[in-house]
Every structure is written in structure tokens, then in C-alpha cells.
Structure 1
Amino acid sequence: MSIGGGGQRLVVIGGDAAGMSAASQARRLRGPGELEIVAFERGHFTSFSACGIPYWVGGQVPERERLIARTAEEHRARDIDLRMRTEVTEIDVAGQRVRARDLDSGTESWTSYDKLVIATGARPVRPDLPGADAPGVHGVQTLDDGQALLDTLAGTRGRRAVVVGAGYIGVEMAEALIRRGFEVTVVNRGREPMSTLDPDMGRLVHRAMEGLGITMVNDAEVTELPTGEDGRVRAVATRDAEYPADVVILGIGVRPETALARAAGLPLGAHGGLLTDLAMRVRGQEDIWAGGDCVEVLNLVSGQEQYVPLGTHANKHGQVIGTNAGGGYATFPGVVGTAVSKVCDLEIARTGLREKDARRAGLRFETVTIESTSRAGYYPGAAPMTVKMLAEARTGRLLGVQIVGREGAAKRVDIAAVALTARMTVEEMTALDLGYAPPFSPVWDPVLVAARKAASKVRSG
């Protein structure tokens, strides 16, 4: 189909980072007469920072509107027909159309497309357990979720909070609740918090969290969320114990929201995410693209498909998709798996492969762990940090880096992210010309100290 004047219609499903970045970039390249853009968003907000929600809940971000990069009205002012509170319920690939329901009125209608962008995001994992849907139990994925949690915190007399899960969301929400004056317990199924780290590095996070007054419960499988006579959650139960709770946060992670794509017969990967080519075009489709938390991406270190739901990638996907849908050309080569987080003053970072990732990829490797400081040891404020590095046996190619430390630790992972992208060896890394002054680094930066030790181990191996 085409609109008046010979133009085409681009339909976007999902109004957050990937979807609206794609719509905005396509609009920059093509005017309204050349390309009509219709976007559907089932929520109340568009183009918001989900990553900022824990900091809004914790009070560092004072108001919700600070997390909104661009409002629906601002998108519409740029000739994007953004339809809020409208959920796409079906994709008809053969007929090149989508069916959408207005969530307020209940009315349904079909919209034809020439080009389609699927940016349906992710959904929080909600355990199929008794009490999981009780009042007082919260997931944290959207601004609506954050507001509901803040309302609960404001109206809760008790001050006991239990966080289920100890990944990024879990540890960040633990900090937010500590800041709100709650007694916090984190119940974690894994051996240590932060499964994105190796267990030995996760153990450092465990100790630091306990030092902040957070009760850590590891190796614990939640079996039930018991409720009181009023129907509200009152505890988190495991096989071995019960932890009283006035509020429960589910931080178990997310899964790609691909039910629409699956029903339409589009290709999904082992992690449940959509599979795309380098141009972010859905494999086997000429005029359908997908990006953000609903897709799988290529890990440039392992060479395997991976599910990495991060806003940084979603925005890049959107730029690539919008360029291609707008008639240009762009590609997204993949990721190295970089992520940073914090809990109070503890900084946590990782990039590349963990030990189990390297084994799964069939790689032989060496590991080293070093302790250093963020600044010259004699300079005020020098804080400790631990750096773990993985290097491929024989070749010495850098495979991964994990960092746990205080102020100044986390962003050092960017050095390793660039080195991984460039496929550098640890030997080559030792000669990197990094900035040095006592307020910023020891004369040998901690990442380079780890690289020297790794290079020596590879040589001796």
C-alpha cells in the first residue's frame, strides 16, 4: 500500500527506546509526504529511561518526568502518529497489516504497513507461585510499575522489604529501599549475587552488600509469597525459612516479549528473542525490522547469539533500523557484553565472557585476579578495586574483564570493552597509552596491571 503522493507507511510496535529511536531517525531522513509513520504504545509513557527507575524510587531522581526523554506530544509535533494506550494484538505478515486495540475504549482496527518495526521490549519474569500476584508484590519495568511501587512504599506502615533476585535490578532496588529507610533482605537462587559475574567476584558483592546492612540469602529457591488475612503479601518463603515482608520486589530478570512475533511465524532464537541480520532486519523478511529488548544479538567475543536487554543497545538498534527504513544504510555488528551497576558506593562492572561462557564457547583460557586502587595509593580518596581478567590460552586474546570496587572502578571496564572490540591481546593491552595523574589512577592503571599478569600467565602456560 502507499499513502497519497506515492509515499509509504512505516508502522512501529512499541514506543520506547528502540521503537521511537527508529521512528525519529526515519523521520529525519524522510518527510511526511514520503513516509507516514504510525507508532503504537500500550502504556502511558513513551521514550522513558527504565534504567533510571531504581534511582527515582530511591530518591536520587526527584520526579518521574526527569526520566522521560521525549513525550508523546513532542513525537506528534514531528509528524509521528503516536497512538498511546493502544496494544497491537496481531501481525498479519502476508497481508502486511497489524491489528490494534484501544485499551481505554476496547475498539479494534487494522492498520496496513509497507514497513514494520517490532520493538515490543521485554516482560519481567513473574514466578508462578502462590501469592505472586498479591498486593504489595511489585515488578519494576515501566514508569507505571515505579509509580505503583512508590505508592505502596508511601502507604506501608512496616519497614521490611524483601527483594527476590540479585541481578542488576535486584541490587539496584536493594539500594533504593535502603535509601528509603527499609530493612532489606535479598533472596537469591544463585550461589552469589550478580550472576553476570563469576562466583568469586559475586562473593565480593555479597560481602559489600552485607556491610551495607543488607541481609543476603543465597542458594534459596522461593516457594511461596504468603499473604495475610487482608490478602496482602506478608512474607517470602523458601524451602528452609520464611522472611517477613511488608513489600516484595521481584528482580528475577526479564524475557523477550515476542508472543506477537511467535504467533506471526517470525524466527526466534534459543533465548526466545527475534533473530535479525546485521541491518536489524528480521531474518527471512524484506520489510520487517526488530530491535531492543525483544531481539537476540551476536556476541563478538564468543561468536554466539545472546540475549542482552539494555537501553544502550536498544537506542543503537533504533538508529540502525530508522536509517534503513528511511532509505539509508546502517548495520549493528554486535556486542561484547558490557554492563555496569552499583549498590550504594559499591561499583560493579563486566564485559566479555565469564568463565562458564568461555567454556560453553569451547575456548581454553587463563584467569588472573588483581587488587589495586582507583588513584595513586598516597592520594586522598584512593579506593580499593578488584579486577579479574580472562585471556585465551596460547593466543592471549582478551576474553573478558570483571571489576568490583569503590568510586572510580566501574567505568574502567570501558578500556576492556574497546580492547575486546578490537580483538586485542593482553600483551598488546599492556602498552595502551592511558591517562595518568595521581587523582585519577596509579601509575599502572588496575586494568593494565591485570593485563600484565595475564600476559605473563599466557606466556608461561
Structure 2
Amino acid sequence: MNMRQGRDGRERLVVIGGDAAGMSAASQARRLRSPEELEIVAFERGHFTSFSACGIPYWVGGEVPERDDLIARTPGEHRARGIDLRLRTEVTEIDVAGQRVRARDVDSGAESWTPYDKLVIATGARPVRPDLPGADAPGVHGVQTLDDGQALLDTLAGTPGRRAVVVGAGYIGVEMAEALIHRGFAVTVVNRGREPMSTLDPDMGRMVHRAMEGLGITMVNDAEVTEILTGADGRVRAVATEDAAYPADVVVLGIGVRPETALARAAGLPLGTHGGLLTDLAMRVRGHGNIWAGGDCVEVLNLVSGQEQYVPLGTHANKHGQVIGSNAGGGYATFPGVVGTAVSKVCDLEIARTGLREKDARRVGLRFEAVTIESTSRAGYYPGAAPMTVKMLAESRTGRLLGVQIVGREGAAKRVDVAAVALTARMTVEQMTALDLGYAPPFSPVWDPVLVAARKAAARVRGAQGPS
């Protein structure tokens, strides 16, 4: 009989983090075990639970009218399900040997220890803040939580100037740039890469570049920020690179995020090359039978490359939580890995990718053939048909699909799901050409654009192999 069961006969599950992975785990464990069998205590340092971080740019831009529209389940709803949820409470230490966590009340500073039988670490990610002069000045914002989003909106409302600089051009940077345009700001994006959206190959990122400029966004590529300049009042006034300074009344950091694993590192838990926690297929922290981890604080297996990867997405976090909750609640589930699927948009330009980019394939030693095709979202004669570009990578010898990138207008992005399924099934591009996809002129040409790319890739693979 362990420490907790010796007190009231119940096991105690402690969850660190109240967003997607943490509260999904708590909710799933509660479905499997009653409050009389399993006590669940969840700590969240912020004001909100179970919210959509992915929706924050659309709230900031005004497309989602209310903050609460992004909240899937409120603290009250979690508590009504028998979860002891403690908001504004930050876990500051994990004592693995003693099976307990130390938590601090954010408002009062009071600290206390809470023992656990089972522990879930769902601490999420933190926005990357460059180690530069002025990076912490008033008017400089990272956007990761609803609190962050509200702080940015307050700054936008209270700023008389209408100049914004976004640092970084990944998903968050691109989406925040569009949001700021919707708010009436003149926007400059400073990006150290050749093209925006480094999750795409540069030739596909160039299309995103053109779309952003079409919105009136000023793109500055191949530029490294050296300093964030401030005025006499201490507030941000410009973003400086080696070559120029770009005036700014507000700065948004869209450089990306890193796993929030300081607690795990201090506790001696295993971390990967990207700084995320390492888990087994059951999302159990490696080497620790009663500790699980999920969401943006973990690394996952990429099923195409065979290597661990850091992929902070809400889709994965919710799946991790379901798996963790099932296992912590006495059931059984696994999370086999990812293929790296993601979609986004700039105005009406849809952007999608799955699998490996060219540099990913080279890094893991794969030889490949790359093809790019132009097609349309519908039959060319049907009203509303829009152009679409599909890029596909296939392994040289086997023809196995390695990756797909799609940029186009309405109807482009979700076509990547076909490729994601094919990657998961380890299909060859030759096999893909026979897929029985839905067809009618309002939805697709006779040959769907993904299948057109597969046909071209299959021919390229055959040609690279030479005559038999």
C-alpha cells in the first residue's frame, strides 16, 4: 500500500498543465475511474483551461469575436466532473523519489507539497524570446496563451501608432501578420530565412511570400534581428537588423516555441535533442512507470524519417491526452507517432504540408525524386476553379511517398490529408495513382491534383531506375 492509498484508499493522479493534453488526460482518466477510486488534482498557472492556442491569431484579427469562443471546457465544467482543478497555481518542483510536487499560488506566493501516485506532465511550450537588447520592452509580445492574446489586444487598443513588426515567418508569424493587417496596422515581417514558412521548401514558400505582399505586408527576408530599439519612455520604437531599422509601435514575436521542460530537466527526467521529454508508445516518460507526458513539452516519433521530432500542435496534444488518460486510468492506448501534417492560410491562400521537405530527406540520408505540378481545385470548366500547386517527394529506389506540400486557393489545404494517410500506410506513389478518390466537377478535376503529382512522381522514379 503506497503513501496515498494509506490515507483514504484512493490513488491520486496529479496533472501539471491545464490545457489540451493535461485536461484531456484528466478527463479521460475520470471517464475510466470514479472519484471514489481515483482522485485527480490538476495545476494550471494561468486563468484558463482547455483553450485553443491555434485560434488566438483569429481572435486577435477579429475573425473570432470573443475570447471565450476559444475555450472548449471551462474550469467549472472540469470541477463538475470531479477534477480538483487549481488555477493560478504553478508547480515549481517535481520530487520524483518522494512522489510529490511543490506548487506555488501565483497571487499569494504560498507554497505546498502535493503527493502523487501517478503524474502527468503537460507543461506545454513557451514562445522563443531572442536574447537581444529590448526583447522584454513594453510593446513586445509573444503569443502562446489566452492571457498573451489579451495582453496583445490591450496593447493594440492603447497604441496610437499603427506600425507593427512581426519577427519570424513561421505559422504564428504569418498568421499574426494577417491578424494585424485586419486590425488596421501597417505590418513588416522580418524573417531570417530565404522565404516565409520554413516548414515548406523555399520554392513553395515563395508563393506564400507573394501572397503576403499582396495583402500589403512588407516582407524582409534573409534578415537577422540584432536589437529591439526603445524610446525615452522605455517602449518599443523599432526593430533593428544589420542593415536597417523598421519603425514599430508594437512587436509580435513569431519565432516559434520551445518545449517548457525546465521542471522535467531539474527532476532528472529524460529529454531529447530538441529539449522535449522522451516517452514510450504509451506516452509514459522513459524509465518512469508512473509518470506520463504529452502535448507541446514532448518529442514524438516521425514515422517517415524514423527520428524523434518536436511538433507542437493541438491535434497531437489532444491525442496524447486521450492516450495518457486511458493508461493512467487503468486502460490501454498508444500513440505511434506522426507524419508531420500541418495546414495554414494567408488571406485566401491555403498552405499545407506533410512528411519530409527536401532538406529533411537529405538529413536522414534518403535519396529522392521531387516533382511539382500545377492543377485546379475543381474541373477547369466549373465556376470557381482555382489554381493549385502540389510538390511531392518520393524515395528514389522504392517509390515510397516521402512528403507533399500544397499551396493554392479554396479546397487546396485539406487535400493534404490524402497524402497523410498514404504516408502513414507507407504507400508508394505508384500505389497512390490507383486511389479511388471522390470526383465530381464542383469538387475536383477527373484526376485529383494529388494523384496528378503521384503519377508524375511514379514516372520520375521509373525513369531514375532505368530499363530493367
Query: The TM-score by the shorter chain falls in which range?
Result: over 0.9
In 1, distance between residues paired with 2:244 and 2:444? Answer: 45
What displacement does 1:380 show? 1.1
| 1:151 CA displacement | 0.7
Partner of 1:263: 266
Q: Which residue of 2 aligns with 1:305?
A: 308
Superposition deviation, residue 159 in structure 1 = 1.2
CA distance in structure 1 between the aligned counterparts of 2:112 and 2:159, rounded to whole angstroms: 42
> How many Å separate the matches in 2 of 1:354 and 1:144?
34
Residue 427 of structure 1 and its aligned partner are, at CA, apart by 0.3
The separation in 2 between residues aligned to 1:106 and 1:246, in whole angstroms, is 34
Report Cα offsets for 1:9-54 as digits up to 9, x if no partner. 0000000000000000000000001000000000011100000000
By how many angstroms is 1:214 displaced?
0.9
Which sections of structure 2, spanning at least 5 residues, go unmatched?
1-8, 463-467
SS of alignment partner, residue 289 of structure 1: strand
Does residue 371 of structure 2 align to residue 368 of structure 1?
Answer: yes
Match of 1:75 in 2: 78
d(CA) in 2 for partners of 1:411, 1:182 = 30
- Tell me which residue corresponds to 1:210: 213
Task: Work out whether residues 174 and 343 of structure 1, in 8 Å CA contact, stay in contact via their aligned partners in 2.
Answer: no
- State the distance in 2 between where 1:49 and 1:308 align: 16
How many Å apart are 1:397 and its aligned residue? 0.3
Give the secondary structure class of the aligned counterpart of 1:110. strand
Q: Deviations over 1:377-398 (max 9, x none)?
A: 1111111111000000110000
**Alignment partners' CA distance in 1, 2:53 and 2:302:** 23
Q: Deviations over 1:364-407 (max 9, x none)?
A: 10000001111111111111111000000110000000011111
Q: Pick which of 11-20 and 152-161 moved more.
A: 152-161
In 2, Cα distance between the equivalents of 1:451 and 1:173?
A: 34
Deviation at residue 209 of structure 1 after TM alignment: 1.0
1:127-178 CA distance string (max 9 Å, x none): 1111111111111000001001111111111111110000000000011011
Please state how far the C-alpha of 1:181 moved relative to its aligned partner.
Answer: 1.2
**Deviates most, 226-235 or 11-20:** 226-235
Q: Is the 8 A contact 1:367 1:389 kept in 2?
A: yes
Match of 2:226 among 223, 228, 234: 223
CA-to-aligned-CA distance 1:410-448 (integer Å, 9 cap, x gap): 010000000000000000000111111111111111000
CA distance in 2, matches of 1:436, 1:180: 39
Q: 1:229: Cα distance to partner?
A: 1.3
Q: Is the 8 A contact 1:164 1:187 kept in 2?
A: yes
Secondary structure of 2:230's partner? coil
Q: Partner of 1:98: helix, strand, or coil? A: strand
- 1:337 is aligned to 340
Quote the Cα distance in structure 2 between the aligned partners of 1:213 and 1:24: 44
| Secondary structure of the corresponding residue to residue 434 of structure 1 | coil
Q: Identity across aligned pairs (percent)?
A: 92
Name the SS for the 1:225 alignment partner: strand
1:231 CA drift (Å): 1.1
- Using the alignment, how far apart are the partners of 1:163 and 1:382 within structure 2? 33
* Residue in 2 that maps onto 1:453: 456
C-alpha separation between the residues in 2 aligned to 1:229 and 1:385?
A: 49
Which of 232, 235, 244 is the aligned partner of 1:241?
244
Mean CA deviation greater in 16-25 or 222-231 = 222-231
Q: CA deviation at 1:268?
A: 0.2
Separation in structure 2 between the aligned mates of residue 246 and residue 379 of structure 1, nearest angstrom: 46
Deviation per residue, 1:343-366 (Å, 9 max, x gap): 111111000000111111111100
1:385 aligns with 2:420: no
Is there any run of 5+ residues in structure 1 with no aligned partner, and where?
A: 1-5
CA contact (8 A) 1:281 1:288 kept: yes
Residues 12, 23 of structure 1: 8 Å contact kept: yes
Please report how far the alpha carbon of residue 212 of structure 1 lies from its aligned counterpart in structure 2 after TM superposition. 1.6
Whole-Å separation in 1 of the counterparts to 2:38 and 2:57? 38
Paired with 2:158 and 2:277, the residues of 1 have a C-alpha distance of: 40
Q: Verify the 8 A CA contact 1:18 1:315 in the aligned structure 2.
A: yes
Runs of 4+ off more than 4 Å: none
Q: What is the CA distance between 1:207 and its match in structure 2?
A: 1.3
Match of 2:430 in 1: 427
Rounded Cα–Cα distance in structure 2 between residues aligned with 1:84 and 1:189: 38
Separation (CA, whole Å) in 1 of partners of 2:161 and 2:443: 43
* C-alpha RMSD of the superposition: 0.8
- Normalised to the residue count of structure 1, the TM-score between the two structures is 0.98
Preserved CA contact (<8 Å) 1:175 1:343: yes
Q: Distance in 1 between matches of 2:102 and 2:405?
A: 45
1:320-343 C-alpha deviation (Å, 9 max, x unpaired):
000000000000000000000011
SS at match of 2:235: coil
Q: 2:399 and 2:342 mapped to 1: Cα distance?
A: 23
